[in-house]
Structure 1
Amino acid sequence: MPPSDSRPGLNRRQAAERRGRRGELWAELFLRAKLYKTLYRRYRTPSGEIDLIVRRGRTIVFVEVKQRASAAQYGEAMEAVNTRRISGAAGWFESRHPQYSGFDYRFDVIFLAPGRWPSHLSNAFFAH
């Protein structure tokens, strides 16, 4: 008999973490197919984390990946995007990477749902 887990919420969090990583991998592969080059995955800053930072040409794209159980929840997923957190983290990235100072910056969101092709919302929002 398997040992009982005294912290049942931990298993749910671990499962959510695995789903999130899998979703980010799918989003990254999708962007690679669109000729984006991955610069960073899960870029952590004091302001928060950016799921993916990719580049195509002279554009740096900060990508938020949202995964939902169905495509009908895309509206809910967009509402869950914390634009202030991502903007702050992007500002941190810009200040730490002067080699990209002449580049354009953009914020995209990729929505994922089972059995659906990823939905890529380019220029999803502007920095605060």
Structure 2
Amino acid sequence: MPRWRSRTRAERRLAAEQQGHRGEALAGLLLQMKFYRLRARRFKTPVGEIDLIAEKRGAIIFVEVKSRGHQGSEAEALGAVNSARIVRAAQYWLARHPAESGKDMRFDVIFLAPGRWPRHLINAFSAS
């Protein structure tokens, strides 16, 4: 009987990246259905990456998407959010878009898990 080959580290990383792309696409659709205007996806900076940047009612929203392969607790996923990295990346984005610096900004998190509706946590953490 042939043995099943276990996935290599590179294969697991690729699968996780693909799951992340699907999750970000789903989160983007969710935001658009809630009448947010998407400004950027996967915005890369020297200090980190922002999954989604959106705008609604004159506020700039920086969104972190947390996809889980299982139904884990949202508190655990929120604890995995590196808020300092996201805030630094948001400051970098604002420096590159000075016309937007006068607008309100906030940091949201969207949780995704199989078999559950996406959960949008508005103003999940502050910049301070």
TM-score (norm 1): 0.91
Question: What residue number does 2:95 align with?
Answer: 95
1:68, 1:74 within 8 Å by CA — same for their partners in 2?
Answer: no
Query: Any gaps of 5 or more consecutive residues in structure 2?
Result: none
CA distance in 1 between counterparts of 2:19 and 2:73 reads 16
Aligned Cα RMSD in Å? 1.5
Paired-residue identity, %: 54
| 1:90 partner SS | helix
After superposition, what is the alpha-carbon deviation per residue over 1:14-59, rounded to whole angstroms, capped at 9, x for unaligned?
0000000000000000000000011000001111000000001210
Alignment of 1:27-42 (within 5 A): 27-42=27-42
- What amino acid sits opposite 1:14 in the alignment? L
Question: What residue number does 1:11 align with?
Answer: 11
After superposition, what is the alpha-carbon deviation per residue over 1:76-106, rounded to whole angstroms, capped at 9, x for unaligned?
1000000000000000011110121221000
Q: Shift in Å at residue 69 of structure 1? A: 2.8
Q: Shift in Å at residue 115 of structure 1? A: 1.4
Alignment of 1:48-127 (within 5 A): 48-127=48-127
Q: Shift in Å at residue 71 of structure 1? A: 3.6
- What amino acid sits opposite 2:79 in the alignment? E
CA distance in 1 between counterparts of 2:39 and 2:72 reads 31
- What amino acid sits opposite 1:44 in the alignment? K
Aligned residues: 123
- What amino acid sits opposite 2:80 in the alignment? A
| 1:102 partner SS | coil
